[in-house]
Amino acid sequence: MIFDRNENKDVIALLGAGSMGTAIVRRIAAGRKILLGDISEKNLEQVSHDLQYSGYDVEICVVNALDKTSVESFAEKAASLGNVKYFIDTAGASPSQASPEHILKLDMVGTGYAVDAFGKMMAARGAGLIISSQTGYMHRLPDEVELEILRTPTDKLMDIAYIKKTAVQSGIAYMIAKRVNHLQAQKAAATTWKERRARINTISPGIIVTPLAYDEFKAAGDNYQVMIDSSAAMRTASSDEIAEAGAFLLGEHAAFITGTDLLIDGGVIASIRTGAYKLH
């Protein structure tokens, strides 16, 4: 049975087919073509199956987000399917899952590869969204370092002296990578994505319950519970809550928003800044 005879559909590209990215896609994908990219073919097939059985038009592509050529091929495939109207990047590794070097290469450099590649493919009035983290607010970078990051090509980010010296633990590497995500969106919004007449923003979620998040909960002991209890919301959030905000930033009602970050953390950073919660 042919469910949709419409042609020339706008394309949504999702890099990292996890629960958060998939939830965002479900909000915006009706009548559009979805291209899922992930390093795991098994995960791609499962997510694709679930979306197809919900009535969505889906294609898949195995992507190694650490590899520049692989990411560029993913962007080219998206463009071959139609006008790339939306790009969402959720690929990353958490502190309990990887070494500092791997986190920097995937969450920082890999994200830069994706931003650069889709900056050449986005359709006019398209929009991109990087899923960063509340941890991007937990390790302040000196102003001069942020300026250096903004002026440094993606391939050279690992060579920045401050990053090499400071990102020696997985947690700190993760914080730095997520702050760099904010800066990557700012840079792209003002340069390459601007030239395409497209927008790009970041979202910094707090404690969101996903299958992968359970690894962090187990590794952190009581720390996450204390963080939750100290926040204004006093609870975790779901991927669907992040998806609501993501759909807004990608949609027409946010057409004047680009190069910015939306912190969605239930008040954790506010608790840290006011002293109600202290990082350990």
CB 48 within 8 A of CB 109: no
For this structure, is 165 an active site residue? no
3-state secondary structure 244-263: HHHHHHHCHHHCCCCCCEEE
- In 16-113, the DSSP E strands lie at 33-38, 57-62, 84-89
By CB atoms closer than 10 A (0-12, 13-18, 19+), residue 275 is exposed
Q: Which of 33, 68, 105, 178 is catalytic?
A: 178
Residue partners of 242: CB distance under 8 A and separation at least 6: 20, 23, 24, 131, 203, 205, 208, 264
For this structure, is 178 an active site residue? yes
Quick check: helix, strand or coil at residue 206?
Answer: coil
Residue 131: closest CA among 279, 18, 266, 12: 18
Q: Which of 174, 187, 194, 224 is catalytic?
A: 174
Query: Within 10 A of 264 (CB to CB), how many other CB atoms are there?
Result: 17
Torsion of the alpha carbons at 73, 75, 80 and 81, rounded to the nearest 10: 130
Residue 199: closest CA among 153, 234, 251: 251
- Name the DSSP class of 104: I
Tell me which residues are annotated as active site: 174, 178
